[in-house]
Amino acid sequence: MKIFIISLTNATQRRARISAQLERLGLAYEFFDACRGDDGYQPYFEGYDPDIFMLYSRRTALPGEIGCYASHKSLWQKCIETQEPIVIIEDDAHLDDRLPDALKTAAKIIQQCGFIRLEPNKQSRQFYKPSRYQSVGYLDNFEISYLSRIALCTTSYIVSPAAAGKLVFASNVLLAPVDKFNQRNWHHGQALYLLSPEMVRAQDDELESQIKLDAKTAKHAVGLALFLKIAVYKSANWFRRVYFNATIGKQSKTRVREKIASLS
């Protein structure tokens, strides 16, 4: 599977660090020059719904978020064009030494899973919004789990052409940042899986994402009206997620279990 690294052309420090890691692991890769959202959403999306975006993020879309989403979407389109699964890694990733073995294992089941997350499925405020995942089996030295609730971040994952098609189709209109979009399994219709032990984590150091820094200052104050709208919208989405997990998700888990059993 080909590895693509999303990185801004001027991110020399990040590029040097991720290159050193991949070369040490003996993994071939290609940089994908990240899109920029400075000119708005029009070059990448057919539409933009600021009201829905506000319900998800309490603010309008930031240029960096538009560019980040557009970068992932561009690689999904490349996956469709090549009809081969690809590995997508953001340039602030820290890679585990076992990543080459993990990719070999994931390659055996990516067509059945469609989307395999390589980073931890941990949420902020863990005591309030626990992440949920269900083991569907073990292959080689790794566990494969179905994600019934998806955490934020899109630092690293593997996507199949079929899954990429669903993600692109559901991305015509910009409704949320790309990691929040991925959480909406009921919207894009793609089940998401986790490979563990996790092989990738985001760096937590001086290379903190500029998007995160901008987002901290861009959020709107939540008045009563907006608070109620957010509460109603999130409640409706909770029911949509539950229904997806009980229907499409259940069918997907069955297919993946059968594939793992055939390989064991």
Give the Cβ contact number of residue 123 at 10 Å. Answer: 17
Q: What is the pLDDT along the chain (264 residues), one digit of tens a residue?
A: 999 999 999 999 999 999 999 999 999 999 999 999 988 898 899 999 999 998 888 888 999 999 999 999 999 999 999 999 999 999 999 999 999 999 999 999 999 999 999 998 875 544 444 458 899 999 999 999 999 988 888 999 999 999 999 999 999 999 999 999 999 999 999 999 999 999 998 875 444 455 454 444 445 555 667 777 788 888 898 999 999 999 999 999 999 999 999 998
Nearest residue to 179 (alpha-carbon basis) of 253, 73, 92: 73
Does the pTM surpass 0.75? The reply is yes
For the domain that residue 172 is a member of, what is the CATH number?
Answer: 3.90.550.10
The domain total for the chain is 1
Q: CB-based burial of residue 133 (10 Å sphere; 0-12 exposed, 13-18 middle, 19+ buried)?
A: buried
> Using an 8 Å Cβ cutoff, are 174 and 69 in contact?
yes
C-alpha 24/C-alpha 180 separation (Å) is 32
Neighbouring C-alpha atoms within 13 Å toward the C-beta of 84: 8
Print burial letters for 58-83: b (CB count within 10 Å at least 16), e (below 16).
bbebbbbbbbbbbbbbbbbebbbeee
DSSP track, 52-105: HHHHHHSSPPPHHHHHHHHHHHHHHHHHHHHTS-EEEEETTEEE-TTHHHHHHH
* Per-residue pLDDT, 215: 47
User: Which range of residues forms the domain containing residue 145?
Assistant: 2-263
Q: What angle do CA 118, 123, 126 make, to 5 degrees?
A: 135
